[in-house]
Amino acid sequence: MAEASIAVIGVLLLTLASFWADRRFRGYDRLPMQWSMTGAVNWTAPRRLALAFTPALGALVLGATAGAALLGVPPRPGQEALVVPVLIMMAAGLLAAHGLHLWLIQRSLR
């Protein structure tokens, strides 16, 4: 049950960050989605789509991982105790990537 809770909390935090960013960037119709090595914006997406991408990706990844653990897909022998820490690290990685994306958007729009 801890697996589902971690997945839900991770997706909830990603979604809350996107709602916050939606209010912050409400004056922009499109937001940057990719940058070149020089820092130039390669392509943009509509604001709501750009902000919904990471929470949707998080829901898929965390949901699939938690679902596999809850439906009885056995981990490899010796790794039984690593399911919860791995889910926590996955959620933290997604939150960090989303935070980086939001920071890069803010930096590009200045």
Q: Answer with the residue of higher pLDDT: 72 or 106.
A: 106
pLDDT grade for 48, boundaries at 50, 70 and 90: very high
One-letter amino acid at 8 equals V
List the domain range (segments joined by +) for residue 99.
2-109
Confidence (pLDDT) at 53: 95
Give per-residue pLDDT as tens, 1-44: 888 999 999 999 999 999 999 999 999 999 999 999 988 899 99
Counted domains in the chain: 1
**Residue bearing tokens 């997945």:** 7
CA 32 – CA 41 distance, rounded (Å) = 6
DSSP letters along 22-86, please?
HHHTTT-SEEEEEE-TTS-EEEEEEHHHHHHHHHHHHHHHHHHHHHHHHTT-PPPTT-GGGHHHH
Give pTM, 2 decimals: 0.88
Q: Above 90 in pLDDT, residue 50?
A: yes
**Residue bearing tokens 């399911």:** 83
Give per-residue pLDDT as tens, 70-101: 888 888 888 778 889 999 999 999 999 999 99
Confidence (pLDDT) at 74: 83
Sign of the CA dihedral running 98, 55, 89, 42: negative
